[in-house]
Amino acid sequence: MRLTHRQLEIFQSLMQTLNITATAQQLFSSQPTISRELKNIEEIVGFQLFYRQNRKLEPSQQAIALNIVVQRSFVSLDEIFRTAQAIREDRLKRLSIACLPAFAHALIPQALRLFLAQLPGTSIKIHSLEEAALTRDLVSKFFDLGIVEGKFDRTASSTIALYAGDLVCVMPVSHHLAQRDVLHPQDLAGQDFIYYSEEDSYRRQVDAFFSRANISRRLLIETTTAPSIGSLVRSGLGVSIVNPLTALAFHGDGLCVRPLAHKIAYHVHIWQPEPAKRGPFASIFIRALEETIIDMRARLDRLLY
């Protein structure tokens, strides 16, 4: 047998009142009914929930543990009710975004400022994962849009490619390469490198470029997130080649940015689900992303050139 919602309601009320009569009054029931249901609940769960002391109930340790889970279920029910009320009152405004951690750090905040200026009060959900896991979640879960690096080709979905500039090199301001205006491949020969894992598509492009140029680097540290690269480079452990959006977020905090003589274009890909599943606000946020990327490109160009 399973507990019914009514039995859970009785149990939660008893945990609050510690009195059968008070619970009966609270739930518009009778004392015999509450006593009978309490006995049924204890039979179903297989342990005693309360000890009787005169007219007062004392919860057992098992009841206290069970109540934690029961409270969670009632919180979920309350959320369902609030959501239904919001729909009824036409107040439900939500935007669900899936993106890489680098974008959550360097791109999303500015774009959200533009978006929320148009749609204040919108509830935002940001789901941030590395690209392999993120593309899997884009297929299996619901999002209004996804922001990834690689192309995401799925039936009945669409992807928009936005040019965000070229890859750049970041280093501590005290690094000797910071004295150069533009970095050539040979300038980076023998340098300690901090970079993303080999699964990263742009990491593979950079590795292939240095391999073709017969330039050897010391790949000192591999990591998975842009903020960790920034911290490691800032600590003087090495240099890195990163996307222009991340570089702009790093600049001015103990780091400097230098362009590469060999241009490696960087694109942000915006994924949308099939038309029938698209939310009403994704197009507005995409325009905010486009404006943000244009602004960030201009800012980085002023910084570099």
Domain boundaries, the chain: 5-88, 93-162+269-298, 166-265
Domain 93-162+269-298: which CATH number of 3.40.50.880, 2.30.42.10, 3.40.30.10, 3.40.190.10: 3.40.190.10
Amino acid at 5: H
Range list of H helices, the chain = 5-17, 20-26, 31-45, 61-88, 101-106, 108-118, 131-140, 201-212, 226-234, 244-250, 282-304
Q: State residue 118's pLDDT score.
A: 93
Whether 292 has a pLDDT exceeding 90, the answer reads yes
Average pLDDT over residues 3-30: 89
Residues 75-94: tens digit of each pLDDT: 666 676 766 666 555 455 78
Please give the share of the chain, as a percent, with pLDDT higher than 70.
Answer: 90
Whether 1 has a pLDDT exceeding 80, the answer reads no
Over the chain, what is the mean pLDDT? Answer: 86
Please name the residues in contact with 276: beta carbons below 8 A apart, sequence gap of 6 or more: none
Split at pLDDT 50, 70, 90, the class of 186 is: very high
Split at pLDDT 50, 70, 90, the class of 159 is: confident
Q: Pairing mode, if any, of strands 192-196 and 218-223?
A: parallel
Q: Pairing mode, if any, of strands 145-148 and 255-259?
A: unpaired
Contact 57, 19 (CB under 8 A): yes
Model-level pTM? 0.66
Residues 56-77: tens digit of each pLDDT: 899 998 988 888 888 777 766 6
- Residue owning tokens 């020969």: 189
What would be the CATH architecture of the domain defined by 5-88?
A: Orthogonal Bundle (1.10)
- Tokens (6 digits) for 274: 């099939």
Alpha-carbon span 121 to 126, nearest angstrom = 16
b/e per residue 233-256 (b: at least 16 CB within 10 A): bbeeebbbbbbbbbbbbbbeeebb
In angstroms and rounded to an integer, the radius of gyration of the C-alpha atoms of the chain is 28
Alpha-carbon span 241 to 202, nearest angstrom = 9
Range list of H helices, 222-281 = 226-234, 244-250
Alpha-carbon span 225 to 243, nearest angstrom = 12
Q: What are phi and psi of 146, to 5 degrees?
A: -130, 145
Please name the residues in contact with 146: beta carbons below 8 A apart, sequence gap of 6 or more: 97, 98, 99, 134, 135, 138, 152, 270, 271, 272
Query: 93-162+269-298: same fold as 5-88?
Result: no
Residues 209-257: tens digit of each pLDDT: 888 889 888 889 998 888 889 899 999 999 999 999 999 988 887 899 9
CATH superfamily of 166-265: Periplasmic binding protein-like II (3.40.190.10)
